[in-house]
Amino acid sequence: MTKNEIADVLTEIGTLLELQGENPFKVRAYQTGARALEAIEEAELARLIAADELKAMKGFGEALTQKITELHTTGRLGYYEKLTASIAPGLVEMLQIPGLGPKKIKAVHDKLGIASIADLTAACQEGRIAALEGFGEKTQEKILAGIRNREAYGKRHLWWDAWEVSAPIVAGLRALPQVKRAEAAGSLRRGMETVGDLDFLVAATEVAPVVEWFVTRPGVKEVTARGETKASVRFESGLQADLRLVPEEQFVFALHHFTGSKDHNVQMRQRALARGLSMSEWGLVPAEGEGTAKEKAERLKGRMADGRTITTEGALFAALGLNFITPELREGLGEIEAAEKGELPRLVEPGDIRGVWHNHTTASDGGNTLAEMVAAAEAQGWEYYGVADHSKSSYQANGLSEARLLKQIEEIKALNAAKRFKTHVFTGTECDILPDGRLDYDDALLAKLDYVVVSVHNVFTQDEATMTARIIRAIEHPGATMLGHLTGRLLLKREGYRVDAAKIIDAAIANRVVIELNANPLRLDMDWRLWRRAAERGLLCAINPDAHETAGLEHVRAGINAARKGWLTKESVLNTWPLPEVQRWLAKRK
């Protein structure tokens, strides 16, 4: 660990001890130690540790020296890990509320039993905080305002929500007469599951009217910056957006730069430097010679030293000996090496999708009937569509009893026989994985279905080993076709249950069970970071909207983003296969 990272750990230990009500001298020792550490050179720290001289220095001492040494050599600290685990996460989270320090948090915890931001909000609303000694009305109001700000402004946003804001802005910018090129860059363009802020980039003949248009969009609550070539706004939702205006010849360089990611950019810049070039948001210019990169770029006006101009990202990558890298892959995870060798995969695209499996109807907790859902699937142009309502144990979701499921199977058969829709309908279920790993219907009933999605919907608190064994038992059931939402996470809302993903992936491959990429923008589960390796080892993916109403089918788009970030090709995604192939594959599994 670097000394700054170590200093951060020490500071946090001080804060956590304060939360626990430790004596102030002990707390201060960590804070002082962190500051003393920051004043030492990195190399000097290594020398002091090696020579065992740290403990003799002012601000350290035996206990702290031992901890710093452990962090410096192993990157971990048992004491810190134990301390973190011993404190309720809700208390730590409360530290993020502006104006609320560890002492106050400890006080409300001790006196009122408050252990989460939700508890605290309720206590403020009921006036119980104001009544506490040392708090009062003013403090209570300040805490409430802090909670609101944290919610509105501190948070990241789902890709889907950010995209719904950004898409009409990009379209509107492009329609302005002054605008030559406009694009939304950043994490949104990379298809990240959550987005911190929006990054718009524009090349225009005239700046002022574009800025004026941007800052007057509906939903803009505050203009936080407004300059010659840049403006920033904050929407009602708390989402912030930057607009940058650049000369047209710089557009492609700025687009690449502001698309990121940072890791990708760093690697690209190193590659450029190895070729005697300096790469930046301004341009791709010779590293040698007079002036800054910006000055050189302004002189060259988007031309290379040899006179060629670069106006597309494809040309920019080519200038560095690379195939075009699609934004979703720009995470610094090996895409540059693959582009150099011409080994980038042809990623799955929205147009490749021929059907989806995991969807609900009004029979369980959906908002549209079977016929309405199938009509919407047909409107998507899909060849097939799977119905997977909840099973009987999901009583909160109106899960189907055996009799109701049998009736639904007959309904679907009749629908297919009547050829009312061009889309073939598969009969399925989203069958609960019971706490011990058994399935929620008996084998005979499961065998009557075309396919079975197995999912965990209750008892999320099992430890990792138990939950993993539970899911693997379900995967090993001969009736299981695919695993729904691997972790049950709800992005920005709820952590997933704990699982050993590698073991579950192994079991799925061994049992020829598909793992779903749940395309609900709140889920995107299994996570894109796990797909590349899993698919290389033979895992099949199903991109499933988990639609509860017809509009939910659109969410496949978010699933495609995640699949592309996971390097998935058409071949690895079951729902790009034509209907007869899917039917053969399902029949063979039986």
Report, in Å, the least distance between residue 482 CB and Zn ion: 12
Kindly state the smallest distance separating residue 355's Cβ from ligand DGT, in Å: 32
Assess 247 for contact with ligand DGT (CB under 6 A). no
Please tell me the distance from the alpha carbon of residue 160 to that of residue 166, in angstroms, as a whole number: 10
Which tokens hold the place of 103?
């002492």
> Residue 257 or 473: which CB sits closer to Zn ion?
473
455 binds, among ligand DGT, Ca ion, Zn ion, none (CB under 5 to 8 A by kind): Zn ion
The yes or no reply on residue 265 touching ligand DGT (CB under 6 A) is yes
CB 65 within 8 A of CB 54: yes
Least Cβ distance, residue 240 to ligand DGT (angstroms): 9
How many H helices and E strands in the chain? 25, 16
The footprint of Ca ion (CB under 5 A) covers 186-187, 196-197, 199, 242
- What backbone phi and psi angles, to 5 degrees, belong to 130? -60, -35
228: left (phi over 0), alpha (psi -120 to 50) or beta: alpha
Which span (18-26, 118-126, 186-194, 355-363) binds ligand DGT, by CB under 6 A?
186-194
Give the nearer residue to ligand DGT in terms of CB position, either 148 or 262.
262
Torsion of CA 45, 49, 55, 60, to 10 degrees: 40
- Helix pair 251-259, 262-274: axis angle to 10 deg: 130
Among 66, 149, 261, 380, binds ligand DGT (CB under 6 A): 261
Residue 234 binding partner per list ligand DGT, Ca ion, Zn ion, none, with a CB distance cut-off of 5 to 8 Å that depends on partner kind: none
Pick from 187, 232, 361, 393 the residue near ligand DGT by CB under 6 A.
Answer: 187
Nearer to Zn ion, 90 or 435 (CB): 435
Nearer to Zn ion, 302 or 488 (CB): 488
Q: Which of 12, 70, 119, 197 binds ligand DGT (CB under 6 A)?
A: 197
User: 262 contacts which partner out of ligand DGT, Ca ion, Zn ion, none, CB within 5 to 8 A by kind?
Assistant: ligand DGT
| Burial (CB count within 10 angstroms: exposed 0-12, middle 13-18, buried 19+), residue 545 | buried
- Which lies closer to ligand DGT via its Cβ, residue 265 or residue 550? 265
Strand partners, 284: 279
Distance of CA 355 to the CA centre of its chain: 25
Closest CB to ligand DGT among residues 265, 429: 265
Q: Which does 65 bind (CB under 5 to 8 A by kind): ligand DGT, Ca ion, Zn ion, none?
A: none
Q: Strands (DSSP E) along 411-487, which ranges?
A: 424-432, 453-455, 482-483
Of 244 and 390, which has the nearer Cβ to ligand DGT?
244
The C-alpha atoms of residue 135 and residue 139 are separated, in whole angstroms, by: 6
| Position 313 contacts ligand DGT (CB under 6 A) | no
Angle at the Cα of 366 (from 365 to 369), degrees rounded to 5? 130
Please give the torsion angle defined by the CA atoms of residues 376, 380, 383 and 386, in that order, rounded to the nearest 10 degrees: -50
Judged by beta carbon, residue 232 or residue 468, the one nearer ligand DGT is 232
CA distances to 8, 22, 135, 177 from 32, in Å = 12, 16, 28, 59
Which one, 242 or 546, has the nearer CB to Ca ion? Answer: 242
Is residue 391 involved in binding ligand DGT (CB under 6 A)?
no
Judged by beta carbon distances under 5 to 8 A according to partner kind, the member of Zn ion, Ca ion, ligand DGT, none in contact with residue 261 is ligand DGT
Residue 266's binding partner out of Ca ion, Zn ion, ligand DGT, none, with CB under 5 to 8 Å set by partner kind: ligand DGT
Beta bridge partners of 525: 518
**469: CB partners within 8 A, 6+ apart:** 437
265 touches which of ligand DGT, Ca ion, Zn ion, none (CB within 5 to 8 A by kind)?
ligand DGT
Supply 567's token pair: 């390097």
CB closest to Ca ion, residue no: 186
- The pair of structure tokens assigned to 467 is 């939950």
Neighbours of 248 (CB within 10 A): 15
Cα–Cα separations (whole angstroms), residue 181 to 90, 201, 275: 46, 8, 29
Candidate residues 76, 262, 275, 584; the one interacting with ligand DGT per rule CB under 6 A: 262
Among 14, 33, 102, 186, binds ligand DGT (CB under 6 A): 186
Q: What are the tokens at 148?
A: 């609101």
Residues that bind ligand DGT (CB under 6 A): 186-187, 192, 195-197, 199, 257-258, 260-262, 265-266
